[in-house]
Amino acid sequence: MHKKVTNELNFWHRIYVPEVIRGIWITSVHFFTNLGIHILHVFGMAKKHKGMVTFQYPEDPRPPAIRLRARHRLMKRANGTTRCVACMMCETICPAHCIYIVAEEDPDPRIEKRPKVFDINLGLCVVCGYCVEACPEDAIRMDTYIVETSSYSRDGMIITLEDLMNHDNQDMYPRH
Amino acid sequence: MNEYLIIALKIVFVLMAVLSLAAILTWLERKQSALMQDRIGANRADIFGLRAIGLFHIIADSLKMFLKEEFVPPGAQRFLHTVAPLMSAFFALSVAACIPFGKLILDGQTIYLQIIDLNAGILYLIAMMSFSIYGVFLAGWASRSKYSLLGALRGASQMLSYEIAMGISLIGIIMIYSTLSLREIVYAQGELLFGFLPAWGVFLQPVGFIIFLTAGMAETKRVPFDLPEGESEIIGYFTEYSSMRFGLFFLTDFIEVALVAMLMSVLFFGGWNIPYLQDTGFVFPWGGSLAMSPLLASLLGILAFGVKVVFFCWLQLTIRWTLPRFRYDQLMKLGWKFMLPLAMANVVATGLVLVLLD
Ligand code: SF4
Ligand code: SF4
């Protein structure tokens, strides 16, 4: 036999006043604990406790999750050229059709193509990460942790090949 | 001449006290709810980088209210639409006229911080609180909008229902202190019961106190009883209001919070009385006393009244941020089927006890 789960109220729930007092007790405990912590902060004490679960955003940004998908970047080879071979895989899979690639011949005879134009319209991007999955060269990644993408015009939301390559290839981004 | 000056000063004092308390309550509500929910609350408005824990939001908010466009919807009754918020705020403020804030004893002369001491004070305050229905209802009616009208209807029926329970809950107080004047009620609460317990209304009328608290919160039209405003669906009777006209309704809510807190302190928690404090100092029932000048004692009394009022404001805000809203049928059920009979039973029980004790 299962224990029957009911939503029925017993007498003490029904007269409501004890439940009100219990609720006020819970909220008051939060209120006075946080008030005490904030007062202690004024005197420079109890810095370990924040007294809140929110982040004061521009001054105190929230630490990003390790697998956060953020703005894209294109990885580089050891000689500084892009790893992208303009295979159009990412452009094809992109559900938002926001990648635009124009290929050109690569001067290196061992490599067939390289991108001449590589635009991503961040205003359309749905941050799904499919492009990263599709890339056979591990050329495109979304690990810059840049999430503050804003612009005063729609054109400003388009990032180009230079923007995508504009990161130094040192391990400034944590590896997954 | 001197008397008129004193009365004018009293009016200024009472208006300033009530309005600034209401303004501070807008800030307190944001900060308190934030702390209760582990947030930090409004803290962005600053003057030259000085933030003063968000206190400048009061100024920023009122500036915003004044600078916004005043819009009267086409088809609205222009005159009534304009008058409704004024009525709402006017009647709320006029309740404050009969509240005794305290007394000041200067050179043996007693000045009461109360604009008028009506001998029918309780009737006056119930009448004035009932009048605030007019502001609500006219606002809904004059806007010619379905949502406003719905909000106004809900508001009117809710306030009417709880008005009755509130009035009857005060009958017990009237019977015990056998006076209608608020000043005399406060004086009567300065006595001691059985030689040690202050004769405060809450000890003599605990049921009356709970009913008054509930009905008072329903009067302020805030969350457990916020159906007239229903911020999440119908927006309520002030849907069609903008700028400072909306601001007046907003302020009225907070004025009413402050007033209910003041009435609770006056009627049930002894007003300016501090237990065992007489005009000449503390006299403890277990012997011992502490003499002080009458001026200091009266100032302490005013301070005590302030502390009580702040406590009840805090209590109301805590309840507002703790409880979920009632459904409409639950609201009516609570008002008519529970509180009204309870209030009447309370009157009967009080009467029986009084007759038996005679
Ligand atoms: S994350 Fe998704 S939407 Fe954005 S560019 Fe890559 S594939 Fe397109
Ligand atoms: S899938 Fe990779 S290699 Fe192919 S075009 Fe896109 S980024 Fe370049």
In a domain, B50, yes or no: no
In a domain, B20, yes or no: no
In a domain, B42, yes or no: no
Q: Does A55 touch chain B (CB under 8 A)?
A: no
Mean pLDDT of B21-47: 89
How far are the Cα atoms of A135, A171, B112, B180, B306 from residue B299, in angstroms, in the given order? Answer: 78, 69, 12, 25, 11
Q: Identify residue B123 by its one-letter amino acid code.
A: L
Mean pLDDT of B195-204: 83
CA–CA gap between residue B203 and residue B192 (Å, rounded):
11
In a domain, B3, yes or no: no
Number of domains in chain B: 1
Interface test with B, best of A27, A40, A41, A60 (most B CBs within 10 A): A27
Q: What angle is formed at CA A90 by the lines to CA A88 and CA A93, rounded to 5 degrees?
A: 105
Query: Which residue would you say has higher pLDDT here, B231 or B216?
Result: B216
CB B77 within 8 A of CB B267: no
Nearest to B56 by CA among B48, B64, B47: B47
Cα B88 from chain centre: 14
How far are the Cα atoms of B30, B221, B338 from residue B25, in angstroms, in the given order? Answer: 8, 15, 31
Q: Does A26 touch chain B (CB under 8 A)?
A: yes
Chain B nearest-CA residue for A53: B38
How far are the Cα atoms of A76, B305, B358 from residue B296, in angstroms, in the given order? Answer: 80, 14, 38
Q: Identify residue A151 by its one-letter amino acid code.
A: S
Q: How far is the centre of ligand 1, averaged over its atoms, from the C-alpha of A153 (Å)?
A: 20
pLDDT digits (tens, 9 = 90+) for B297-331: 888 889 999 999 999 999 999 999 998 888 888 88
| ipTM of the complex, rounded to two decimals | 0.83
Q: How far is the centre of ligand 2, averaged over its atoms, from the C-alpha of A139 (Å)?
A: 6
pLDDT digits (tens, 9 = 90+) for B280-293: 778 887 777 788 88
Q: Could you tell me the pLDDT band of residue A171, with boundaries at 50, 70 and 90?
A: very low
In a domain, B49, yes or no: no
Scored b (16 or more CB within 10 A) or e, B286-318 reads eeeeeebebeebbbbbeebbbebbbebbbbbbb
How far are the Cα atoms of B116, B196, B282, B283, B290 from residue B287, in angstroms, in the given order? Answer: 37, 11, 10, 7, 10
Q: Does A29 touch chain B (CB under 8 A)?
A: no
CB A157 within 8 A of CB A121: yes
pLDDT digits (tens, 9 = 90+) for A62-111: 888 888 898 899 998 888 889 999 999 999 999 999 999 999 999 999 99
Q: Could you tell me the pLDDT band of residue B260, with boundaries at 50, 70 and 90?
A: very high
pLDDT digits (tens, 9 = 90+) for A13-71: 887 888 889 999 999 999 999 999 989 988 888 788 888 888 888 888 888 888 889 88
Contacts of B95 (CB under 8 A, 6+ apart): B125, B128, B129, B259, B263
Query: Which residue would you say has higher pLDDT here, B278 or B262?
Result: B262
pLDDT digits (tens, 9 = 90+) for B342-356: 999 999 999 999 999
Q: Could you tell me the pLDDT band of residue A3, with boundaries at 50, 70 and 90?
A: low
Residue B40: per-residue pLDDT? 86
CA–CA gap between residue B137 and residue B159 (Å, rounded):
11
Domain of residue B237, residue span: 71-357
Residue B226: per-residue pLDDT? 81
Residue A90: per-residue pLDDT? 94
Q: Could you tell me the pLDDT band of residue A175, with boundaries at 50, 70 and 90?
A: very low
Determine the 3-state secondary structure of B109 from DSSP: strand
Mean pLDDT of B76-82: 89
Percent of chain B with pLDDT over 90: 23
Mean pLDDT of B178-187: 89
How many angstroms separate the CA of residue B38 from the nearest CA in chain A?
A: 4
Residue A1: per-residue pLDDT? 56
Residue A120 belongs to what H/E stretch? strand A113-121
Q: Identify residue A132 by its one-letter amino acid code.
A: V
